[in-house]
Copies of this chain bind each other. A is one copy, B any other.
């Protein structure tokens, strides 16, 4: 049911490349973060009208395409396990660190989870003499398991 959002994502990637735009440029235009803006364009988030208008303006999208950005997606187009090495590495982190996340979060917060809905994330370049690094900062609200 996300075909329109997926197709639009491919189109945006082409326009973005042709115009020499960065995710940061798109994000600045609408006053949001680059990560969320990228996820929106990849069809995994829903925009508010003014975000959609801003992106339509900078990318040259028409009204129907702007409306598509506002639709709430059926999320999760990523095939599992991921076959692409870049994406697989994150899957591998779940394999290797899954139990550590559980034990560490529970030690600090008690029984509950880190929300993946009330959640934000940044991605940046971390300069390093031995080779620059990718730095990802995740922040999710802790939710306590309700006892009732």
Instruction: Please list the residues of chain A having a beta carbon within 8 angstroms of any beta carbon in chain B.
Output: 1, 9-10, 13, 22-23, 32-36, 38-39, 42, 44-48, 51, 72-78, 80-121, 123, 125-126, 128, 130-148
Contacts and interface: CB of A to CB of B under 8 A. Distances in A.
Given A86-B101, A99-B42, A114-B89, A135 B138 contact: yes
A60 to B, nearest CB: 19
A97 B32 CA distance: 16
B117 A143 contact: yes
B114 A134 contact: yes
A142 B134 contact: yes
Contacts of A85: 75-76, 92, 96, 113, 116-117
Nearest to A43: B99
Contact of A111 (B72, B93, B138, B148): B72
Given A36-B147, A107-B22, A112-B117, A89 B133 contact: no
A113 B125 contact: no
A139 B143 contact: no
Contacts of A78: 83, 94-96, 98-99
B146 A117 contact: yes
A143 B82 CA distance: 18
B130 A34 contact: no
A103 B137 contact: no
A138 B139 contact: no
B148 A103 contact: no
